[in-house]
């Protein structure tokens, strides 16, 4: 990749320096610089997981593990594999905690930047652009675990302090990566959850101006509100120059609780026509303004009912065909995990899966982690709570996804999940240096299992030739 291979927005497309259209095809490589419970198996939030492992391993052995884990999770083998499937970019989700401590705000850590440098360089060696995605922000920009939120309140929108820190962090990113063509652009914030809808545009105005003052060249990617699905906040103004508005496009049949496809999930009949209708609704702003469409996240979860796998592959195929028909770029979620969704995953007999097996079983039994489990085994808990709310608070419709999702977040992702950090800690007691390395190496590409059918489908859609 050459220094003049910068991407830019031109005429409703992403183009390279020679004016050639570059539709982005790629994968999110979440799970290491932003860790999520369903990807690597811990309960609750990344912070609770880190604290639990440090209590069990000690700071030095945890550092040994984590450094090895980062190297193992995305290496040259992984980048080469993705390029071989026709991918041309990776989206790199990052947690601000790798760059700044809460007790030392505005003090950006070189160690975190060096880790990010290494990932970008690995992708570049294999012809992959990188999009830096700030996935977890100080104060938490949305209500869920993937922003490392220990509550169900997005405090980022209420406190200028948190916003100042994010602007400062993006200024550092912009200064470090200006002139780096291997970086396709900056995804300022993953899945904003601004409940009032009045703060997101002023903040974007501010952070875009700050980045542009340092780096006028890179594309900026902006997720819509309500977790990347709503763009009404931008209707009253012209689009920012050289900017892509990013939509997320998960479908209910693809979720772990999903029903048949075509068919009914949670009272809604979903088929190809319905998928296209919701896609057109979510991308109306981009099509009206003539800006490129990038689906920053989408993809089915395969864990659960094996009988539904055919349906999920059929749905994914329809989505990819739809994106191609509308000239949309895309980035699947997520590349690597412990078996629920990833293109590759840690082997069932790996040291990692052996160590955390009791937690995985308990999470499934208690319905913890809404992305990887259902509440089928705890309906005796959930149903009475839902019934009380339906009767006593019939008009209660909390942002972003309503009453039942709000209850699920509180009970499953917080009340039942947080105490399980103790179970997770016990999994790592007695681990020595050699085993810590072996645990991290469970995520090496050559020790992972490929989801072959998924890889074949992706290669068929991109036209890549598989060995």
Residue 389 in 3-state DSSP?
helix
User: Which residue blocks in 367-451 are alpha helix, DSSP H?
Assistant: 379-392, 403-408, 421-427, 433-441
For residue 371, what are its two tokens? 């992305």
Catalytic residue of the set 46, 191, 230, 425: 191
According to DSSP, the β-strands at 448-450 and 344-346 are: antiparallel
Buried b (16+ CB within 10 A) or exposed e, 334-363: bbbbbbbbbbbbbbeebbbbebbeebbeeb
In degrees rounded to 5, what are phi and psi of residue 15? -130, 160
CA 107/CA 165 separation, integer angstroms: 10
Q: Is 191 a catalytic residue?
A: yes
The alpha carbon of residue 180 and the mean position of all alpha carbons in its chain are separated, in whole angstroms, by 23
H or E stretch at 117: helix 110-125
Local structure of residue 188 (DSSP, 8 states): -
Beta-carbon count within 10 A of 295 CB? 27
CA 383/CA 60 separation, integer angstroms: 45
Q: Which residue has the tokens 């539904």?
A: 308
Local structure of residue 412 (DSSP, 8 states): I
The CA-based angle 462-466-467, given to 5 degrees, is 165
Helix axes 433-441, 59-73, angle to 10 degrees: 30
CA 459/CA 300 separation, integer angstroms: 17
Q: Is 297 a catalytic residue?
A: yes
Catalytic residue of the set 8, 100, 297, 425: 297
CA 142/CA 323 separation, integer angstroms: 27
CA 229/CA 315 separation, integer angstroms: 19
CA nearest 462: which of 337, 329, 340, 339? 329
CA 458/CA 294 separation, integer angstroms: 17
| Residues with catalytic roles | 191, 297
């Amino acid at each position: 990749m050459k220094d003049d291979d910068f991407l830019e927005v031109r005429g409703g497309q992403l183009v390279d320096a020679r004016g050639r259209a570059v539709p982005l095809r790629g994968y999110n490589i979440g799970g290491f610089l932003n860790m999520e419970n369903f990807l690597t198996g811990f309960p609750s939030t990344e912070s609770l997981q880190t604290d639990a492992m440090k209590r069990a391993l000690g700071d030095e052995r945890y550092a040994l593990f984590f450094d090895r884990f980062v190297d193992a999770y995305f290496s040259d083998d992984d980048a080469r594999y993705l390029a071989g499937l026709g991918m041309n970019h990776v989206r790199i989700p990052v947690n601000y905690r790798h760059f700044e401590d809460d007790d030392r705000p505005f003090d950006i850590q070189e160690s975190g930047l060096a880790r990010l440098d290494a990932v970008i360089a690995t992708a570049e060696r294999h012809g992959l652009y990188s999009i830096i995605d700030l996935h977890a922000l100080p104060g938490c920009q949305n209500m869920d675990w993937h922003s490392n939120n220990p509550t169900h309140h997005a405090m980022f929108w209420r406190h200028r302090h948190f916003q100042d820190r994010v602007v400062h962090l993006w200024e550092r990113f912009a200064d470090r990566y200006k002139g780096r063509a291997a970086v396709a652009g900056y995804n300022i914030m993953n899945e904003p959850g601004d409940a009032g809808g009045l703060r997101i545009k002023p903040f974007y105005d501010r952070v875009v101006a700050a980045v542009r003052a340092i780096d006028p060249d890179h594309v900026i990617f902006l997720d819509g509100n309500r977790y990347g699905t709503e763009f009404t906040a931008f209707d009253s103004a012209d689009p920012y120059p050289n900017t892509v508005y990013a939509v997320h496009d998960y479908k209910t049949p693809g979720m772990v609780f999903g029903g048949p496809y075509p068919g009914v999930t949670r009272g809604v009949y979903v088929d190809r026509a319905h998928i296209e209708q919701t896609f057109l609704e979510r991308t109306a702003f981009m099509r009206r303004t003539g800006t490129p469409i990038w689906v920053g996240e989408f993809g089915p979860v395969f864990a659960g009912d094996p009988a539904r796998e055919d349906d999920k592959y059929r749905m994914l195929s329809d989505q990819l065909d739809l994106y191609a028909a509308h000239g949309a770029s895309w980035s699947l979620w997520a590349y690597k995990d412990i078996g629920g969704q990833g293109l590759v995953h840690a082997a069932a007999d790996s040291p990692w899966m052996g160590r955390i097996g009791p937690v995985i079983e308990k999470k499934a039994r208690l319905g913890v982690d809404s992305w990887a489990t259902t509440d089928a085994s705890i309906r005796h808990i959930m149903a009475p709570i839902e019934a009380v709310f339906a009767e006593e608070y019939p008009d209660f419709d909390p942002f972003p996804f309503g009453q039942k999702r709000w209850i699920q977040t509180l009970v499953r992702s917080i009340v039942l999940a947080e105490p399980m950090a103790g179970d997770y800690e016990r999994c790592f007691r007695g681990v020595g240096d050699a085993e810590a390395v072996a645990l991290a190496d469970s995520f090496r590409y050559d020790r992972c299992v490929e989801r072959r059918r998924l890889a074949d489908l992706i290669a068929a859609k991109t036209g890549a030739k598989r060995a």
